[in-house]
Amino acid sequence: MTKTETLMADLEEASRIAKAGEDMPLVGGPIGLMWGVLLTGVFAVHYMILERMLDLPDWSFAILWIGFAVFGGLGSAILGRKVEAKPGASSTANVVEQNIWMMFAAAMASLAVGVLLNIVLAGGTHDLWTIILIVGFAGQGLAYGVVGKLTGHSWLHFAAFAGFTMAAMTMSFYGQNIIYFIAAIGSVVTIIIPSLLSMKAAG
């Protein structure tokens, strides 16, 4: 098979996946909403600690983010069971969405571990954590775009654009405390709103 034939076969397969999913609502909205609310709150509290609006010691950052991971993980496990029971949860569109976001989560977790090791072993600074924030927005844009393309849910391209926009915006404020306040607002736009729209479409 030539490269052209291989490319055409790949395009036909992508088209088949899109047609199989375009009429099937995405059911992962509740999980996205939960993460969006948690992340918005954590970014806001992080910003208030940095600006000394909250009189908390520096080690409270660790407690804040560990709590975020624990509650997020438990919430995903609980909501995941409910989502799996919904009609269409095993459709091509929803399987594609689930796996893409799983890979996104794995990428973010690996980056977080790397940053933590750098801080502990190489004396890295607090600013390293903002790299995760910036990459997270860019990763959201990538994930939304791929899910939208493969499932036929073209409205997700707007969410992808929002993710890329927030990545550029937060990068422009790298090294400044205000980046966490901007990220809190950005999480509403890139996670909470798309999740609510997805839930509305799913009924």
Ordered by start, the domain boundaries in the chain are 10-202
Q: Which residue reads 């493969």 in tokens?
A: 150
Taking all residues of the chain, what is their mean pLDDT, rounded to a whole number?
Answer: 88
| Contact residues for 114 (Cβ-Cβ < 8 A; gap 6+) | none
Contact call for residues 31 and 79 (beta carbons, < 8 A) = yes
User: Taking 70 as the threshold, does the pLDDT of residue 161 lie above it?
Assistant: yes
Percent of the chain with pLDDT over 90: 58
Q: Is the pLDDT of residue 201 over 60?
A: yes
- Which residue from 132, 106, 107, 108 is spatially nearest to 119, judged by alpha carbons? 132
Phi, psi of 60 (to 5 degrees): -70, -20
Burial 149-158 (b: 16+ CB within 10 A, else e): bbbbbeebee
Of 46, 45, 39, which Cα lies nearest the Cα of 69? Answer: 39
Mean pLDDT, range 48-60, rounded to an integer: 91
Please give the residue that has the higher pLDDT: either 85 or 46. 46
Tell me 176's DSSP state: S
Q: Quick one: which of 35, 49, 26, 48 has its CA closest to 98?
A: 26
